[in-house]
Structure 1
């Protein structure tokens, strides 16, 4: 009696094939190779050591990749938090034309105190007590306001 393979093969769930060979797949492949080797002609020791070294290198690279991804996540700080130390400081910047946003000619430097930092499209926006809003790249100078005693 012959069993039709379509009965049991069609019921198996299939994952989409991946082009990446991870450490689990590599280890499964190595174990299958060891299990199915010819007992009269076993795998060469040098070849086995070479494959184990490759596996070890693969695992170290994957661990390093995980560490780098964690480092990148830790380094990405919100612009609001990154520039929050400027609240209360005085900043100097070139006066801008309110309609076009261009620097007015002749150039005039304005100084105002920072009251808040906000974010717009991923960039830090400095909100000033003179009701102006400027981007951080427009700042010419940052100073601590002098207190009168």
Structure 2
């Protein structure tokens, strides 16, 4: 008796490279497909041991929980960035005292706020139309 592998479980050449996630990292769906294929094609005279099956299910459960934690952390970080942007925008129209590149105190009015490369920049309404980082601000009026 010959065992055959169900070809619907195989990935096409294009899918092998991109898959649903667009990365080359295995996800929980991939892990489950592998487990199901392994169960369907196991040797009937030497089936998978219960402890092996339980260990693989535990790994699958752990992978799923880690994926859920990752999504939760991403959502949390996005909300933190939005909160920080709202807090930073409260400085628009306020006069700030800051240290310039020569470590001299200067005063200007905040014109706008932007995020660039993960940093908050405050555009100033001064003669130089410069922008400063939040770490340069020493006083808010």
Q: Which has the higher contact order (CA 8 A, sep 6+)?
A: 1
TM-score, with structure 2 as normaliser: 0.62
In the alignment, the residues of structure 2 paired with residue 61 and residue 120 of structure 1 have an alpha-carbon distance, to the nearest angstrom, of 29
Structure 2 equivalent of residue 116 of structure 1: 111
Taking the aligned partners of 1:134 and 1:22, their CA distance within structure 2 comes to 42
Alignment partner of 1:142 is 2:110: no
Is 1:40 the counterpart of 2:40? The answer is no
CA-atom RMSD, angstroms? 3.5
Q: Kindly indicate whether the alpha-carbon contact (under 8 Å) linking 2:123 and 2:131 is maintained by their aligned counterparts in 1.
A: yes
**What is the alpha-carbon distance in structure 2 between the residues aligned to residue 24 and residue 132 of structure 1?**
52
**What SS does the aligned partner of 2:48 have?**
coil
- Residue pairs, 1:66-145, within 5 angstroms: 66-77=71-82, 81-93=86-98, 102=102, 111=107, 114=109, 116-119=111-114, 123-127=121-125, 133=130, 135=132, 136-143=134-141
- CA, structure 1 residues 84+19, in 2 after alignment: closer, same or farther (shift >3 Å)? closer
Q: Deviations over 1:39-65 (max 9, x none)?
A: 333221111111100111111111111
| Contact 2:110 2:122 survives alignment (8 Å) | no
Mark the runs of 5 or more structure 2 residues left unpaired by the alignment: 1-10, 18-22
Identify the structure with the greater helix proportion: 2
**How high is the TM-score relative to the length of structure 1?**
0.59
Q: Which stretches of structure 1, 4 residues or longer, exceed 3 Å deviation after superposition? A: 16-19, 77-82, 87-90, 109-112, 118-122, 130-134
Cross-structure match for 1:6: none
CA distances 1:10-53 after superposition (whole Å, capped 9, x unpaired): xx952244642221121111111111223333221111111100
Moved more, 38-47 or 57-66: 38-47
The count of corresponding residues between Structure 1 and Structure 2 is: 121
Q: Take 1:32 and 1:14, find their aligned partners in 2: how far apart are those partners?
A: 18
Secondary structure (helix, strand or coil) at the match of 1:71 reads helix
Gaps of 5+ in 1: 1-11, 144-149
